[in-house]
Amino acid sequence: MNEHRVGNWLELQEALFAGSWNEALGRFRPSFAFRGMPDVRNDLSTSLNRGEGAFAAHEKDLLRAFRKYARGGSQPCEMLWDWLALAQHHGLPTRLLDWTFSPQVALHFMTEDPELYDADGAVWCVDYHETNKLLPQPLQAQLHEEGADVFTAEILAAVAAELGAFDRLTKHPFVLFFEPPSLDERIVNQFALFSVMNGPLLRLDTFLESQERGVRRLIVPASLKWEVRDKLDQANVTERVLFPGLDGLSRWLRRYYSPRKR
């Protein structure tokens, strides 16, 4: 893993878009997933295995109950992976981790809480072309057959319809990225995708630290956070857009008019 501490806004933008030129397409089309962290000390544990990992032992129970009680809702789901995405989207502890295709959205989540502006932040950048090379052969073959770069629920289900089958694909840890269905405007506007590993107790940062290619963590100093936040607001990358509705509007106004600590 490559770690780099940026010094200013322009250096941050250069670092976020580094490697985005696609020679075959002749276009700037990066193959990176981004995750913004408000505190550089935060790890990449999931809501399922955070802390002592108490929820990990109940993964099947949580998902089974969620599927049972949520069936009457307005979001029809057929495949396990759709259910898992819906559960993560609504706050159930899962083995999924939120990412985005957008570096600016990642910067938003790094700077959404002014109470944490005293801490250095971080943006993880992971090239899924590189992590795909470490996938079990059945998953690689399915991606190749579909001509895809990241998974969808349908592509995943063709190889592993349930979590047990997914975990048994190999004994070696791996990570893949999949695009959730467009459950609502929030998923769409955040340009969202999820990471998932083949075990409820696996930690993504532990896995990525040993990867020599395609992984970098950008450290954003606390002194730069206000500039990043103000420029994102000017570019309309705000809660009002990323969380459509009155809740997002209120979150945006509350933060926008918060006094700056001196």
Structure tokens at 175: 């990570």
pLDDT of residue 261: 72
33 located within any domain: yes
Minimal CA–CA distance to 207: which of 231, 13, 81, 199? 199
C-alpha angle with apex 163: 170 to 109, nearest 5 degrees? Answer: 100
Is there a domain that residue 164 lies in?
Answer: yes
CA-CA distances (angstroms) from residue 107 to 41, 55, 56, 112? 16, 29, 29, 8
User: Would 80 be classed as within a structural domain?
Assistant: no
- Which DSSP category does 261 fall into? P
Domain count for the chain, please give it: 1
pLDDT number for residue 74 = 63
Q: Provide the pLDDT for residue 76.
A: 66
**Region at 91 (left for phi over 0; alpha for psi -120 to 50; beta for the rest):** left
Please indicate, yes or no, if residue 24 is contained in any of the structural domains.
yes
Q: Is residue 130 part of a domain?
A: yes
Write down the pLDDT at residue 73: 63
Residue 84 lies in a domain: no
Cβ pair 96, 191 in contact under 8 A:
no
Tell me what pLDDT residue 71 has.
78
Point out which residues pair with 177 in neighbouring strands. 195
Q: Which residues of the chain have pLDDT under 50?
A: none
pLDDT at residue 212 in the model: 85
pTM as predicted: 0.94
* Residue 262 maps to a domain: no
- Whole domain around residue 240: which residue ranges? 2-47+98-256
Half-sphere exposure of 238 (CA within 13 A, CB side): 18
Give 185-240 pLDDT, tens digit per residue: 999 999 999 999 999 999 999 999 989 899 999 999 999 999 999 999 999 999 99
Terminal-to-terminal C-alpha distance of the chain: 35
pLDDT at position 228, please?
98
Residues 167, 59: contact at Cβ < 8 Å? no
Query: H or E stretch including 209?
Result: helix 204-209
The DSSP call for residue 179 is: P
CA distance 68 to 74: 14
pLDDT for the residue 159: 97
What CA–CA distance (Å, rounded) separates 16 from 218?
8
Cβ atoms of 187 and 194 within 8 Å: the answer is no
Check residue 25 and give its pLDDT: 87
The answer to whether residue 54 is domain-embedded is no
- Cβ 149 vs Cβ 143: under 8 Å: yes
Each residue's pLDDT tens digit, 40-59: 999 999 999 987 777 999 99
pLDDT score of 41:
95
214: left (phi over 0), alpha (psi -120 to 50) or beta: left
